[in-house]
Structure 1
Amino acid sequence: MPERLVLQKLLNSALATAIVETGDDQVGGFVTDAVTVADLRTPQQLLAAYGVEGAPQFVDVVRFEQPRLASLRPPSDAPRPWPTFSNGFLRGDSLARVWTMSRARYPYGSEYWRLRSDGEQKVLSRYEGVARGWLNAKQWRPPSPMVGTLARWRGREFFADVVQESVQLTAINDEGLPGFQPVRPNVWSASVPLTDTEIFERVYTAELDGIPVRIVRTSGRTAELLLLTDDPDSARRVGAGLVESGVYEVVVDSARLANTRGVENQLAG
């Protein structure tokens, strides 16, 4: 299997806290080629490449392979109230490509790193897949079936982590299946050959007061939404909050959504 592109995601304090405190497993927005930013070893160097002034004691990043079925596109060149990358590269001399990545689940083996002002880099955590989540995180958050890879295997559907030529299947139910091992209460896992599965994702989109959104999670009558625009005026109109540069989210009553539709994207064999 060919090597996959390794990406780096710069975390703001809210994104870092979400991983450490709640085990958040979703990622998207601005990402860069991890190899071409390897020389940006201090917080000041990395932030400057993003157009941000400052020299904190540390910054946190996640390094991970491009998630299966996640798409990369050039950043928007529209004027925005945050640093933008209209030429598709970070600022300065790094010559690092930057993309906007569609919302996905972190792939198995993603690493959470801390870069310190003295140049030290240290791994703080590692994502061990759907069933186990982030090592040392204070909580495990159940995955959303609306974000990330799923698998069909022997007539059933499971959450799926593709690991080289195998797939870690995760089932969340009261009773396990033959061959599945318990990982935590009501969470079961098994590893099967990739060739025995069908890997896919389901993406649900809708409109909120005319603004295009992606549904990333539902709970009862509420829906967690990712705006499919980075326009600040559109975000203000629907009461969405800025979670990071270029990414707006909002939680609403599902009854407010219109033109809801779903699409299934298949992983090519």
Structure 2
Amino acid sequence: MPEPVVLQKLLTGAVAAAIVEAGSDHVGGYVTLASEVASLRTPRQLLAAYGVDGAPEFADVVRFEQPRLATLARPGPAERPWQTFPSGFLLGDSLARVWVMGRTRYSYGAEYWRIRADGEQKCLSNYAGVARGWAGARQWRPPSPIVGTMARWRGGEFFADVRADLVLLSAITGDGPSGFEQVRPGAWVSTVPASECEIFERVFTAEVDGVPVRLLRRSASQARVLLLSDDPAEAEGIGATLVEPGVYEAIVETSRLANTQGVENQLTGAAE
């Protein structure tokens, strides 16, 4: 089995707060290979590589294995109010490649690190899967079935954290399936061989006033959507908020969704 690819994501204040305060398990946007930014050992060095001036006391990052079924794309060439990395590399001498990762769920074992101005690095939290979430987070947020890996196993459908040749299945329900361990009220887990599972991810897209979006969560009346465009004018037109450079989200009435479509991406080789 090949060595896992370990990525690093620089966190904005809002994204860091979403993890610490609300236990957010979503990840996407700009990512790099952790090994290629290892030489950026202070907040000043790291931020400079992203085109940001300043020397804060600390900077926060998450290091995580590339999630199964995650998509990586080269940054686009369009000029934006933020640094866009059209060359495909961060700025400066690190020669670190940078990609835009499509929205997914953090992989099991993701680590939240704080890099201080004196070069000290400390792991503040780790992600223990769908049912347990981020260690020490003030809240646990139930996962979305339309972001991140799922699994079919013995006729049932579960949230899935893929760990090498094993899968940690999570059931979010009042009564857990037979043989599952309860880890919090309404959340149950069981570890099974990956060879017994069908691993997949559902992606739903739509349009809001002509702007392409991806659905992140949906209820009968509202939907949280991720814009599939980073055009500030289009974002403003539908009332979207910039949550980090290049990433806009909005909460819209479901009546505004048009041309909704869904695809199911399969993880090949998981059941071999």
Please indicate, yes or no, whether the TM-score normalized by the shorter chain is above 0.5: yes
Give 1:22-171 correspondences, 5 Å limit. Answer: 22-171=22-171
Paired AA for residue 249 in structure 1 = E
Distance 1:114 1:197 in 2: 36
Spell out, residue by residue over 1:177-222, the C-alpha distance to the aligned partner (whole angstroms, 9 max, x if none): 1110001111110000000000000000000000000000113411
- Aligned alpha-carbon RMSD (Å): 0.6
Spell out the pairing of 1:218-233 with structure 2 (5 A cutoff). Answer: 218-233=218-233
Residues of 1 paired with 2:187 and 2:66: CA distance?
A: 26
The aligned residue for residue 11 of structure 1 is 11
CA distance in 2, matches of 1:105, 1:266: 16
CA deviation string 1:21-63 (max 9, x = no partner) = 0000000000011101001000000000000000000000000
Amino acid of the structure 2 residue aligned with 1:22? A
Q: Structure 1 length as normaliser, TM-score?
A: 0.99
Q: Which runs of 5+ in 2 are unaligned?
A: none
Gaps of 5+ in 1: none
TM-superposed deviation, 1:128: 0.2
Per-residue deviation, 1:83: 1.0
Tell me whether 1:179 sits opposite 2:182 in the alignment.
no
**Secondary structure at the counterpart of residue 176 of structure 2:** coil
With normalisation by structure 2, the TM-score equals 0.98
Aligned amino acid, residue 133 of structure 1: G
Kindly report structure 1 stretches of 4+ aligned residues shifted beyond 2 Å.
none
What's the offset of the Cα at 1:174?
A: 1.3
Q: Distance in 2 between matches of 1:59 and 1:9?
A: 11
Q: 1:107, 1:194 → 2: CA distance?
A: 15
Instruction: Please give the secondary structure, in 1, of the residue aligned with 2:134.
Output: coil
Distance 1:244 1:172 in 2: 29
* Deviation sequence 1:146-197 (CA, Å, 0-9, x none): 1000000001100000011100000011111111000111111000000000
Distance in 2 separating the partners of 1:203 and 1:121: 36
**Shift, 1:3, TM fit:** 1.2
Alignment partner of 1:139: what SS? coil
SS of residue paired to 2:151: strand
Could you tell me which residue of structure 2 aligns to residue 210 of structure 1? Answer: 210
CA distance in 1: counterparts of 2:103 and 2:122, whole angstroms? 26
The one-letter code of the counterpart of 2:70 is: A
Count of paired positions: 269
Shift of 1:135: 0.2
Q: Distance in 1 between matches of 2:221 and 2:186?
A: 24
AA aligned to 1:204 is F
**Percentage of pairs with the same residue:** 66
Looking at structure 1, the residues matched to 15 and 126 of structure 2 have their Cα atoms a distance apart, in angstroms, of 15
**Greater mean alpha carbon deviation, residues 214-223 or residues 6-15:** 214-223
